Amino acid sequence: MMKFSTTQSDEPIMRLGSIHEAEMQPTDPDMHRMTLLHKQQLPRPILFLSGTTNYTSTRWQTELINEIALHPPKPKPQSISSLSPTPSCTIIDPYNPTWDASWSETSNNVPFRTQVEWELEAQIRADVLVVGFCGEEVRSGVKGPGGTSLGELGMVVGRREGGRREGKRKEVLVCVEEGFWNEGYVEILCGKFGVRCFKRMGDLIGVLREVIEGFEGEGSNLG
């Protein structure tokens, strides 16, 4: 089975500027109540899961994590041997089980600000950004869900372009399911900047495996 780590935000123990690693088994029933460990070196590539979310068991982020863990990428052909490791990665899931919908989303609200700044820092550190506009609410065409994610999409596309100019690799993969209230804008933006955009999360996951295979798996200093 693929060896990888995931991180989730958890406001009571968050520290700005740091990422928290947690070892996870995909079949663990307490997957979202894991113990967080503090480490400076994380396996690469580092993936950040941006986009719409919900607090049910059908989160697209959970689907992606399970698929990558249960059906991992393969080692590069030229490096296959009895000693060659399976490609590794770090997945950062911003889902916060302590999130309170009653929080005021203002810059002077400490829990809200801490969550936002943690997510922004994680996106800056990530090698691969997956942006998903997915879920039952999205497919129903309800206006509103994913508004913040649209802003994040613009930011990560901008960072991708900036990284390319500096010779740094920054991958962005997008999934926008049919029915999303701003579906056309997402498709046009992705088309304009050459970002791969998918209608099904399963298709994105297939490409994501190839992206992970393209990294060497070296450590990344997140201190």
Q: What is the pLDDT along the chain (223 residues), one digit of tens a residue?
A: 344 555 555 432 222 223 333 333 333 333 333 333 333 466 788 899 999 987 666 789 989 998 988 776 666 655 444 444 556 788 888 888 888 888 899 999 998 898 888 888 888 888 999 999 998 888 888 888 888 899 999 988 987 877 666 667 789 999 999 999 999 999 999 999 999 999 999 999 999 999 998 885 444 444 4
Nearest residue to 132 (alpha-carbon basis) of 45, 64, 206, 191: 64
| Topology (CATH level 3) of domain 4-9+35-77+84-96+122-221 | Rossmann fold (3.40.50)
Strands 46-51 and 128-133: parallel
Residue 26, token pair as written in the block: 């995909």
- Examine residue 111 and say whether the peptide bond preceding it is cis (omega within 30 degrees of 0): no
Residue 33 per-residue DSSP state: G
Strands 196-198 and 46-51: unpaired
Query: Quick one: CA torsion of 166, 117, 58, 24, rounded to 10 degrees?
Result: 80
**Angle 29-35-38 (CA atoms, 0-180°, nearest 5)?**
145
Query: pTM of the full predicted structure?
Result: 0.75
